[in-house]
Amino acid sequence: MSTSDATGRRGRLFGESVLGDQLRKFFRHTTGVTGLIIVGAFVVISLLAPVLAPYDASRDRNLRARLNPPSAEHLFGTDELGRDQLIRVWHGGRISLRVGLAAVAMAVVVGSVLGLIAGYVGGWIDTLIMWAIDILLAFPGILLAIAIVATLGPNLTNALIAISVTQIPIYARIIRSVVLSLRESEYVQAARAPRPIGPKASTRYRCAPRDSHAQGGGPAPRPDADRRSGARWRAPLTRRRSASRSTPPGAGPARPEWRRRAG
């Protein structure tokens, strides 16, 4: 198979789009593909934990085997209650991955919307939103998360909310800065330029050019020139990933998760 055929097949697979171009660049990057395989393996193993190794955290007790070192029977050793650390880390991945992904997704959505509104609208709305963002940034992330969990109560949902709130300012500031830089671009200014509609548009585009042309004032301008100048373009917004910070566990003391020491 020639190089052109392989390139054409990849183009048909991913499509001629910005997303397809980014995917092609990603899969040419060895480090990125390796990281994707590792992360995917962790996710698959965590999801298959109940099938491959059933576990009941409420009944897992063996005081005779407490605080044993790593061995063939317990590869990670046991904790103060005699529970196998490997099994608890394995099952804890399901909770930790779910909370981490959900919290980051919520922070991206809320932060992006606030950044878009603040950057595009401007004025007192921009000032009000950025004041709120600055107030959140004034507190250390872990302290703010502890305060939220202490106010709402220690459970998994409140822990997710606490993590997402601490990450919202990061995405809001990034998106706002991108929108502010794009708002002054020429194609954005052209798209926002006032254009007449209705009878006034008919007079401008039809009657006036004919009159000027009839009087010998040069060729009549094309009626679609102003419409083309106002064509709207789309520009990609920068997205940034951020790892969620550690917060007080919300899954309960018996259920394992990666945010705390198993046990």
Distances (CA, A) of 14 to 9, 20, 33, 234: 9, 5, 16, 20
Do both 130 and 226 map to the same domain? yes
Looking at the domain assignment, is residue 27 inside a domain? yes
Do both 233 and 107 map to the same domain? yes
Contact present, 209 and 220 (Cβ < 8 Å): yes
Neighbours of 259 (CB within 10 A): 20
Write out the residue range of the structural domain in which residue 22 sits. 1-47
Q: What is the pLDDT of residues 173-221, one digit of tens each?
A: 999 999 998 888 888 778 777 765 555 554 554 444 444 444 444 454 4
Instruction: Give yes or no for residue 67 having a pLDDT over 90.
Output: no
Looking at the domain assignment, is residue 166 inside a domain? yes
Q: Comparing C-alpha atoms, which of 6, 43, 42 is closest to residue 24?
A: 6
Do both 185 and 260 map to the same domain? yes
Q: How confident is the model at residue 8 (pLDDT cuts 50, 70, 90)?
A: low
Looking at the domain assignment, is residue 62 inside a domain? no
Do both 151 and 251 map to the same domain? yes
Looking at the domain assignment, is residue 252 inside a domain? yes
Do both 37 and 139 map to the same domain? no
Looking at the domain assignment, is residue 11 inside a domain? yes
Looking at the domain assignment, is residue 93 inside a domain? no
What the block records as the tokens of 46 is: 């965590």
Q: CA–CA separation, 11 vs 218, rounded Å?
A: 47
| Percent of residues, the chain, with pLDDT higher than 90 | 25
What the block records as the tokens of 31 is: 């480090």
Q: What is the pLDDT of residues 20-50, one digit of tens each?
A: 888 888 889 899 899 999 999 989 988 888 8
Q: Which residue has the higher pLDDT, 126 or 235?
A: 126
Task: Please tell me the total count of domains within the chain.
Answer: 2
Looking at the domain assignment, is residue 212 inside a domain? no
Do both 245 and 146 map to the same domain? yes
Q: What is the pTM of this model?
A: 0.61
Contact present, 132 and 168 (Cβ < 8 Å): no
